[in-house]
């Protein structure tokens, strides 16, 4: 069967099977869950004064997509930042080019945003290891501190279970191969989960190859008393090419930097202790260590010689301590917390003529308190506040005949606060209104301190929310919300002065986020969402680059029989300005729409799937700078099988 016929079959096949005489049992597929941990304690989604989306492991298995970023970008208000780096990124609420520092990603409550400009490496997180994902839009500064500005993406991995094993294998276009194995076991109070995998692709473009290996181990000890303990470790290694941007007239599969590339080695360790004291509350203590060594060649060499000696070496070490105490109070709650982070960064450029070393150190600690209580049966109030302190040092060394010598030193100290207040009003059991006011902040990271103006300081943002939730289980769920964000001293890179500065102009981000889920029958569901966004500089009335003013999505889930499912997903993004076009003078990037489809056979201990990504072979780009754009992949085919034992 030709690719075109296969696409038509997957697209229109559901129309034929909809007349299948068999019946499907159970309720329709719903993309919401009943419990969300928007702070660090469990709350029902209806008790939160801001929009939240929860995806569980079944949702992730249904959704077509070539990466975790692509799957998450199907949710309202999220814009993918793919094509620039090896693993892409996500923008929430129009942060644009600074989304890597203004959208916080947590993996089992450990921040994955390093205190530099590298962004989150989503390639270190395998979808097969995820239990659920919580997307919290808007400020999360009270609970999570610096960087929780546009939103928080909280990823929870699977926990050890009874004796079992899972084998997973995928293959697809562009030399794509992926294999993973996972096994769990338990004995009395002790349980474990061991996993590992390999992922490789030759890439859609020249010099876009990618090769990943990872492994991890989770251990848990649950004693008879109130205490439980956990220990986890993860090791990741990869090599990748960096094809660079493409200018107009060149093939989108070509590379402007055909010999650039890099490699990464990362290891993470986390220790946890929890105590459940019944009416006296719960206490959680978590200590994590993360080490990353990344070597890169971004010199634009004209030959492949010397690829084994990558000229840039970045070492990052982060230690994080978190303590949470949650006290239930007759339907209300009090939450107290403390966190501490110490980040060390060393970047070495060993070139004989320009040998230099950048040393950065950031130490942060914060304390916070948050409460949730009922003013009356139908009205709930949430209040929270944080005190946060930051010490930052940055040293620049040069190499001479005597070795490394200190060339310059910069030190800074900042103290910030964040506040949060929200109301949730229950009109009836199926209609809830909410409103909230919050503040957030973001401190400069080590890369920004490396080339900083003399007066660089943290940014501050004020947030307002007004929203509606309406739902009837098994029939529909509607969410609509208005938001406003006003940021003072937002941090950006001035390409003319070649330094990081604070905008003199206040930046405004205002918009509407809507989402509607319909369940017309037990085996058919629809999900539609639309986001309207105005991201502007207040005085200049100019649009912030790389932020689409409109984007929308459609998801269709159709399961005619218990073991068979078809899933169609599409997204449309409006045009947006070039990443360096702050004056809005140049031509915009073209608007585009992308459609993916997936078919799944799930029976007993076997699951088989086939999918087509970008099945219309759309030519598009998510990012461009000074007229050079980063093209996204064309049509891709993928198939896989999962076995459970």
The per-residue DSSP string of 403-459 comes to EEEEEEEEEEEEEEEEEEEEEEEEEETTEEEEEEEEEEEE---HHHHHTB-TT---E
pLDDT band of 34, cuts 50, 70, 90:
very low
> Residue 562 in contact with residue 58, Cβ under 8 Å?
no
pLDDT band of 497, cuts 50, 70, 90:
confident
pLDDT band of 15, cuts 50, 70, 90:
very low
Pairing of strands 52-56, 524-537: unpaired
pLDDT band of 611, cuts 50, 70, 90:
very high
pLDDT band of 21, cuts 50, 70, 90:
very low
The top-level CATH class assigned to 3-644 is mainly beta
Per-residue DSSP letter, 16: H
pLDDT band of 38, cuts 50, 70, 90:
low
So what's the pLDDT on residue 87? 64
For 228-255, what is the mean pLDDT? Answer: 92
Q: How far apart are CA 438 and CA 241, in angstroms?
A: 41
For 1-29, what is the mean pLDDT? Answer: 37
Asked if pLDDT for residue 31 goes beyond 80, the answer is: no
Cα 322 to Cα 70, 139, 229, 273, 345, distances in angstroms = 30, 19, 15, 11, 21
So what's the pLDDT on residue 352? 56
So what's the pLDDT on residue 426? 93
Q: Quote the tokens at residue 179.
A: 């294999």
Q: Please, what's the b/e burial string for 359-397 (b: 16 or more CB within 10 A of its CB; e: otherwise)?
A: bbbbbbbbebebbbeeeeeeebbbebbbebebebbbbbb
**Taking Cα atoms as reference points, which of 444, 341, 359, 360 lies closest to residue 111?**
341
For 299-309, what is the mean pLDDT? Answer: 66
Give residue limits of the domains in the chain: 3-644
Percent of the chain with pLDDT over 90: 62
Cα 77 to Cα 237, 425, 479, distances in angstroms = 32, 24, 12
pLDDT band of 224, cuts 50, 70, 90:
confident
Q: How far apart are CA 190 and CA 194, in angstroms?
A: 14
Cα 518 to Cα 15, 422, 432, 444, distances in angstroms = 18, 28, 18, 43
pLDDT in tens, 155-174: 999 998 889 999 999 999 99
Cα Dmax for the chain: 83
pLDDT in tens, 434-485: 999 999 999 998 888 888 888 999 999 999 999 999 988 889 999 999 999 9
Beta strands in 247-378 (DSSP E): 261-276, 282-297, 312-329, 332-349, 356-376
pLDDT in tens, 556-595: 999 999 899 999 999 999 999 999 999 999 889 999 999 9
Q: How far apart are CA 472 and CA 28, in angstroms?
A: 12
So what's the pLDDT on residue 91? 94
Asked if pLDDT for residue 17 goes beyond 50, the answer is: no
So what's the pLDDT on residue 25? 37
């Amino acid at each position: 069967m030709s690719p075109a016929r296969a696409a038509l079959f997957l697209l229109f096949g559901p129309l034929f099977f909809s007349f299948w005489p068999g019946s499907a049992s159970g309720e329709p597929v719903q993309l919401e869950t009943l419990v969300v941990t928007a702070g660090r304690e469990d709350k029902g989604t209806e008790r939160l004064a801001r929009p939240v989306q929860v995806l569980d492991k079944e949702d992730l298995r249904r959704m077509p997509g070539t990466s975790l970023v692509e799957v998450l970008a199907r949710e309202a208000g999220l814009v993918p930042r793919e094509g620039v780096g090896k693993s892409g990124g996500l923008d929430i609420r129009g942060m644009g080019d600074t989304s890597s520092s203004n959208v916080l990603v947590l993996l089992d409550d450990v921040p994955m945003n390093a205190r530099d400009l590298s962004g989150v490496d989503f390639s270190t997180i395998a979808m097969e290891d995820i239990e659920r994902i919580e997307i919290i839009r808007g400020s999360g500064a009270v609970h999570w501190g610096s960087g929780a500005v546009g939103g928080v993406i909280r990823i929870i991995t699977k926990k050890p279970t009874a004796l079992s094993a899972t084998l997973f294998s995928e293959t697809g276009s562009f030399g794509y191969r992926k294999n993973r194995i996972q096994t769990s076991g338990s004995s009395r109070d002790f349980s474990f989960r061991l996993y590992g995998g390999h992922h490789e692709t030759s890439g859609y473009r020249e010099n876009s190859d990618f090769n990943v290996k990872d492994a991890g181990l989770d251990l848990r000890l649950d004693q008879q008393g109130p205490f439980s303990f956990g220990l986890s470790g993860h090791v990741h290694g990869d090599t990748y090419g960096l094809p660079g941007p493409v200018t107009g007239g060149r093939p989108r599969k070509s590379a402007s930097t055909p010999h650039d590339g890099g490699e990464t080695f990362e290891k993470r360790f986390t220790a946890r202790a929890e105590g459940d004291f019944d009416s006296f509350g719960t206490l959680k203590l978590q200590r994590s260590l993360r080490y990353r060594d990344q070597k890169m060649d971004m010199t634009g060499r004209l030959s492949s010689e010397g690829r084994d000696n990558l000229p840039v070496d970045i070492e990052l070490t982060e230690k994080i301590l978190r303590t949470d105490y949650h006290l239930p109070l007759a339907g209300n709650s009090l939450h107290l917390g403390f966190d501490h982070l110490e980040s060390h960064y060393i970047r070495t450029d060993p070139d004989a003529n320009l040998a230099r070393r950048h040393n950065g150190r950031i130490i942060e600690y914060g304390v916070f308190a948050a409460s949730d209580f009922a003013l009356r049966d139908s009205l709930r109030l949430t209040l929270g506040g944080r005190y946060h302190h930051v010490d930052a040092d940055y040293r620049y060394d040069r190499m001479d005949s005597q070795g490394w010598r200190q060339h310059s030193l910069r030190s800074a100290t900042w103290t910030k606060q964040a506040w949060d207040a929200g109301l949730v009003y229950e009109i009836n059991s199926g209609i809830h209104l909410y409103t909230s006011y919050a503040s957030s902040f973001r401190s400069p990271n080590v890369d920004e301190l490396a080339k900083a103006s003399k007066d660089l300081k943290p940014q501050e943002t004020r947030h307002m929310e007004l929203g509606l939730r309406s739902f009837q289980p098994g029939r529909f769920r509607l969410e609509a919300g208005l938001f406003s964000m006003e940021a003072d001293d937002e941090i950006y890179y001035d390409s003319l002065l070649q330094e990081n500065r604070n905008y003199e102009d206040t930046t405004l981000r205002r918009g509407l986020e809507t989402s509607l889920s319909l369940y017309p029958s037990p085996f058919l569901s629809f999900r539609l969402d639309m986001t309207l966004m105005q991201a502007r500089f207040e005085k200049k009335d100019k649009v912030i680059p790389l932020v689409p003013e409109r984007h929308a999505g459609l998801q269709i889930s159709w399961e005619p029989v218990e073991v068979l499912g078809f899933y169609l997903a599409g997204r449309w993004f409006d045009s947006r300005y070039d990443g360096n076009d702050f004056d809005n003078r140049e031509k915009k990037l073209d608007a585009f729409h992308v459609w993916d489809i997936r078919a799944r056979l799930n029976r007993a201990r076997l699951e088989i799937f086939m999918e087509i990504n970008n099945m219309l072979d759309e030519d598009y780009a998510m990012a461009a700078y000074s007229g050079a754009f980063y093209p996204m992949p064309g049509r891709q085919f993928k198939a896989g099988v999962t076995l459970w034992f």
